[in-house]
Amino acid sequence: MKLGVRSIEHGNYLDDESAKDMAAAGAALSQTIITYVALRSDGERCGMPADLVAKVGNLVDAGLRSVAVAQRHGVPVTYGTDLLGDMRTRQLEGFGLLLDAGMTPREALATATGNAAALLGLNAGAVRRGLLCDLVVVNVNPLTEAGLRGLREENVERVFVGGRRAL
C-alpha cells in the first residue's frame, strides 16, 4: 500500500494491522470467499486433484473473518469470485457469504456496485435519464436478507450495459 497498491485480492488472512494500513492508504479488499466454498464442494467433480481441494482448508472461515476485519477498520470490500468453468454458476452465492460475515444486504450489494466503481475511479450510484449506466433488474428485493441470499440467475429480468438493453 505504501507503493500505491489500491486493492488486495483474496486477503483471506487479513489482520488488524494490515487493515489499518489499507484504510489509511484508501485500499480495498477484493474478497473471493465463494471460490473456496465452490472448490470444497465441486473441485474434484470439476477435475481438480483431491490434494489441491484439501489445501482449501479453512479459507472460507478465514475469508469471512477477513471481511469482518476490513469492515471494522473502514476498508471498502469489493465483490470477486475467481470462479471458473462449471463453478461460474455459483457467482451470486457470494452475496450470502458477505451476509454471513456481518454485512447488511445494502453493504453486500455495494461490494459489486459502488465500492467496485469507486476502486476503478468510476462515478456510480445514480439511475436517471441521461446517465450512462450498467444495470441489472431482478424480480426479488436484494435489499432484504432473503432476497439477496436467494438471488439466482433466473431472477434476472433485464440487463443494461452502457445504457443499452442487453437482455
> Any idea where the domains of the chain sit in the sequence?
7-121
User: Strand, helix or coil at 96?
Assistant: helix
pTM over 0.75, yes/no: yes
Going by their DSSP bridges, the two strands 77-79 and 135-138 should be labelled as: unpaired
pLDDT of residue 81: 87
User: What is the fold, at CATH topology level, of the domain defined by 7-121?
Assistant: TIM Barrel (3.20.20)
CA dihedral 65, 67, 69, 70 (to 10 degrees): 160
Q: pLDDT band for position 84 (50/70/90)? A: confident
Decide which of 84 and 22 is more confident: 22
CA 102 to each of CA 11, 70, 120, 141, 148: distance values in angstroms, whole numbers, following the listed order: 17, 11, 25, 19, 14
Q: Which helix (H) or strand (E) holds 92?
A: none
Pull the grid cell for residue 94: 457470494
Of all residues in the chain, what percent carry a pLDDT higher than 70?
99
pLDDT tens column, 30-64: 999 999 999 999 999 988 899 999 988 899 999 99
